[in-house]
Every structure is written in structure tokens, then in C-alpha cells.
Structure 1
């Protein structure tokens, strides 16, 4: 196993210690959800001044709309949490900061969670939200998400081809894209801080109801057979993350299909580092790169030649 005390700097090690100070009190998924909510609340920052929000409902799907000024693009954001945790509050500050720093409208999707709602419900909710955004605002759309949310938004990008006209980019942050767990990172970082390979595979199983669907790109983008005509894509992976191989594999598939793609492999970071952006220089620098990627894609620019 890698020596994480050597791979990670003092700020990220402090972030890990703080994150691990919110263990579930009791057994079962509800205890795990309460612990996750407490963890997110402990790291939550105030919304930047000038960002307004409105909670809406798209059919059965709650969304939160963040605005500041006159946006020229809409970012649709899906939160992480292993498909079983999280919601509008867990990533509220992240979405507000993206809105503030880009000037774009951000629509956060409160997709329904597993196991109460097994696949494809979360995917259907995210796609419905993106459809609503296109119909409501008729502006360029950038899809974004972290972890499980990145998986969902990548699946939306695949499904949107030939159905939606305004999706022009996607930014995937430490995505868990549904591989079979045989990639190098699953082996090399099987016991990584904050997310083990076993936990990653467990969450995928919970999402599927125990049976992983074969060849279903709405479950896993890596299962698709066609990678042509996907939007420009920027992928951020963390060095100490069992799922990092998924992002690299996806980037290779997009590159082979002549889709503009940039893989940014963040050294010295762990899964979930977005929450560390206000206590870690490395995480803050990565968040700046993430925001710049969203901003550039929203302007129709490709800055990675």
C-alpha cells in the first residue's frame, strides 16, 4: 500500500482527519447519510455575495437555480455521494462558487437516491433536468458533477446526442464511471483515504440493485460502444483515488473517437477534495482549474491544444 503520509501534504492530511471525524452513529444507510450530511455541513462555506437562488421542482426532481447577473451559459451540476447520499445542501457552496466565479447560471439536480430508487431513476432525473434547462433558457449547457454525479452527467452527455442541441461540454470531477474494478488505480489505491476500492464497488452495486446492467451507457459511460460526437470534455482525477483509472480509460476512448478531451491528473489529492478547497492550496488550485474549464467550455473555447 502506498505511504500516504509521504504522498499527501500536511493540509490534505488535516482534511482527511477532519473528514474522518464524522463516523456514522449507528448502523445502516440512514446513519451513513446523517454522517455525510454532518461532514458536508462542517466544510460548507457561505454563499458569495450577489448569488441568488431559487428552488424549483421539475416533475419529481427538485433543483436549485443559482444566478448572478445575466448568464450566457447554464451549468447543470450533479452532486457526488455514491448514488446513495447527498442532495441540494451537500454541494450548495460548490455550486454557488461556480456561479460566482463564472457568472453562469448553475442548476443543481437533487436526483433520487438508491437503494430506494435503483437505476435508472437517478439518470432519468438528471436527463429530465437537462431537458428542462434547454427548454427554459436556450443557452449553451455545460454538464458538470463530481464522483457519482460525474458518472450521471457523462451518461447524460452520451444520451443527449441527437436529442438535445445545447450541450457543448462536460467537466467530470474524480468520476467513478462504472468500470469493473480491474484498473491499476483499483489495485494501487485499494485502501486510499476517504474511499476504498471495496466501497466504490459497493456503491455501484447498491445503485444497480445488485445486478449490473450489461451494455447500458445510462448506467456507465464506459459501457457505451459509440463515443463519437460527444461534447468537449475535461476530466479531473485524484492521484490517491481507486477510481482514477476510470477517468483515464474514458479519456482514451474519447481521444480515439476524435473528441477533444483533456485529462488533468491531480497529484497529492484524494477523492472528495472539492471540500478541501478552502483548507488546502492544492485543492484550491485544482478547483480554480475546474472553474476555468467550465468557463472556457461555456464560451465555446478549447484551451488545451
Structure 2
């Protein structure tokens, strides 16, 4: 039986996918960890424009975790942004999301701290959330409000940290911005079936990353969708891509949060694929989606 790959129609995103295929192979997850990281680094470099003029950044270690702190040309708020990068918990670094973090910080007028959490398979769960929590706890001690931001695997970490801080009684989380997050949905249902062969990320890829990470899917920090309760969580902006097996994770989490009384903004990009953040300078849909993300961040920092 031939499986038809679902494809968007927007010219900009199709060009983006064409470039991606020339740099990052469709079967990347079948290759060695080293090869995956090398290809991902090359892909990120291909879509990494110069950072905004006047913005500065510096690397530092916070409680044993490497971080990078961005300071925009004009800081207009004391609220901090904490960014957790995507990459399936296997690839990605401070460099992979450098321009993305810089542009968000500049738009929001807020300092942003990016977390270089440990990667699998060298470090299994909960190393990744522990690193994020260590940095978050250190920043929270200063009394500053914090907005959690993450894409894909980083969206999982950001959502999990919101739950973890609530459990630990850590206050000061002003909001969450979750960008096509992986939240622990059932791989045999919904978009995991409908978009199983979507470009950019397949359901088989998601299964691979879960297997590598070995996170317990009954733990709410690892799989927020499976949390017994989501009441009392900080307000959240969630954006999903229509052509993405993770789409229903975002849809279902937004619906569950809203039902529990959490303030939620949900947006679904009808022509976007997973990882559309990198297409923000060449696709109209991605450009609009990225602006919505930045506006959500700015709304939280000014709320």
C-alpha cells in the first residue's frame, strides 16, 4: 500500500522543505547520533540570519548548566525569558536556536536566557528537565518574573517545568509559550495517524525520540497531557502546525487547560509543518506565526 505524504501548498514553506531535504536527510534518525547532530547543525546554520543590531549576548554557567543570556538593544521590562530549544532531546544547542532567541528577545524588549540542557542518549530523562529546573530556580530566586518558552522537545520541557514549579511552589512564572510542543500524546490516534508521514517530522521519528529519552509517559513533567490535574498552571500560548504529527498534542492540551480554568491562547498554522520557526524569513505563514509567538511573549512580559 502506497502512503501519500500530506503536503502544504504555500510556496514559501515548500521551498523551505526543499532546502531542508538537501541538508537534513529524511532517514536521519536511522543514522548515528554524531551524524544526526552534524546534519542538524548544518540545517540550523542554513537558516540562521544575523542577530538584531544592538543586541548583545554572553555565555555563563548557572548551577552547572551552560546558558546564554541575550540583552536586547532596549530593555523595557524586568521580566526574564527562559528558552528551551527543540531537537528531540537528541540534537540542538545554544547555537541551533541562536537567531531565534535573539529575535524574540529583541521583539519583547526582555532579556532571554537559553538553556543548553544535556542531551540523550548520553543523558537520559530526567537530566533535561533537571537542567531546566536548576536554571529556572536560580533565576526565580532573584524575584524576577519569568516566561517559559520552548519549541518541540523544548515545548515539552517548558510545559513540564510549569507543572514542576507549581508542584514545588516556585512562584513568578508569568506565562508559557509552547511552539509545536511534544506533550506525550497517544501515537496510535489522531494526528499521529493522519500526519504520520508529514514532512519534517514523522510519527516514527517521535517514537524514536521517546525511545532514546526513556521518559516515563505516566509522569506529568515528562508527558503533560497525562497529568492528573492542570489546574492552577500559568497562562499559556500554544501554537501548532497543521502538517505535524504533534498537532493534536497542542490542540488537546489547550482544550484541557481551558476546561480547567487556565487562561489559554491557541493558534494553529494551517499551512505550516514541524520546525516552521526556521522558515520565518521566507514563508508568509511562518512569518505571521512567528510574529504571533513574539506578540504572545511580549503580552506575558507586560501583563
State the Cα RMSD in Å: 1.6
Once residues 217 and 156 of structure 2 are traced to their aligned partners in structure 1, the CA distance between those partners, rounded to angstroms, is: 16
Equivalent residue number for residue 30 of structure 1:
34
Contact 1:183/1:245 (<8 A) preserved: no
Equivalent residue number for residue 48 of structure 1:
52
Matched, 1:179 2:180: no
Once residues 110 and 214 of structure 1 are traced to their aligned partners in structure 2, the CA distance between those partners, rounded to angstroms, is: 23
The number of equivalent residue pairs is 295
User: In the TM superposition, what is the alpha-carbon distance from 1:183 to its structure 2 partner?
Assistant: 3.1
TM-score (normalised: structure 1): 0.93
Q: Structure 1 residues 186, 103: closer, same or farther in 2, change over 3 A?
A: same
Question: After TM superposition, where is structure 1 displaced by more than 6 Å over at least 4 residues in a row?
Answer: none
Contact 2:5/2:197 (<8 A) preserved: no
- Residue 145 of structure 1: which of 144, 150, 159 is its match? 150
Alignment of 1:231-270 (within 5 A): 231-270=234-273
Equivalent residue number for residue 63 of structure 1:
67
Equivalent residue number for residue 156 of structure 1:
161
Once residues 2 and 257 of structure 1 are traced to their aligned partners in structure 2, the CA distance between those partners, rounded to angstroms, is: 38
Once residues 136 and 230 of structure 2 are traced to their aligned partners in structure 1, the CA distance between those partners, rounded to angstroms, is: 20
Residue segments in structure 1 that go unaligned for 5+ positions in a row: 301-305
- SS of 1:113's partner is coil
User: In the TM superposition, what is the alpha-carbon distance from 1:79 to its structure 2 partner?
Assistant: 0.3
Equivalent residue number for residue 133 of structure 2:
127
Q: Structure 1 residues 155, 282: closer, same or farther in 2, change over 3 A?
A: same
Once residues 109 and 182 of structure 2 are traced to their aligned partners in structure 1, the CA distance between those partners, rounded to angstroms, is: 28
Contact 2:183/2:224 (<8 A) preserved: yes
Farther-moved stretch of structure 1 (168-177 vs 213-222): 213-222
Contact 2:147/2:175 (<8 A) preserved: yes
Once residues 214 and 84 of structure 1 are traced to their aligned partners in structure 2, the CA distance between those partners, rounded to angstroms, is: 18
Once residues 162 and 33 of structure 2 are traced to their aligned partners in structure 1, the CA distance between those partners, rounded to angstroms, is: 30
Once residues 266 and 43 of structure 1 are traced to their aligned partners in structure 2, the CA distance between those partners, rounded to angstroms, is: 20
Once residues 78 and 136 of structure 2 are traced to their aligned partners in structure 1, the CA distance between those partners, rounded to angstroms, is: 16
Equivalent residue number for residue 121 of structure 2:
115
User: In the TM superposition, what is the alpha-carbon distance from 1:165 to its structure 2 partner?
Assistant: 1.2
Equivalent residue number for residue 303 of structure 1:
none
Contact 1:174/1:236 (<8 A) preserved: yes
Once residues 3 and 108 of structure 1 are traced to their aligned partners in structure 2, the CA distance between those partners, rounded to angstroms, is: 34
1:66-119 CA deviation, whole Å, 9 max, x = no partner? 012333211100000000000100000000001111101110000000010000
Contact 1:47/1:96 (<8 A) preserved: yes
Once residues 189 and 287 of structure 1 are traced to their aligned partners in structure 2, the CA distance between those partners, rounded to angstroms, is: 22
Contact 1:2/1:189 (<8 A) preserved: no
Matched, 1:274 2:277: yes
Farther-moved stretch of structure 1 (246-255 vs 113-122): 246-255
Once residues 226 and 117 of structure 2 are traced to their aligned partners in structure 1, the CA distance between those partners, rounded to angstroms, is: 22
Q: Structure 1 residues 2, 261: closer, same or farther in 2, change over 3 A?
A: farther
Equivalent residue number for residue 16 of structure 1:
17
TM-score (normalised: structure 2): 0.94
Once residues 207 and 19 of structure 2 are traced to their aligned partners in structure 1, the CA distance between those partners, rounded to angstroms, is: 24
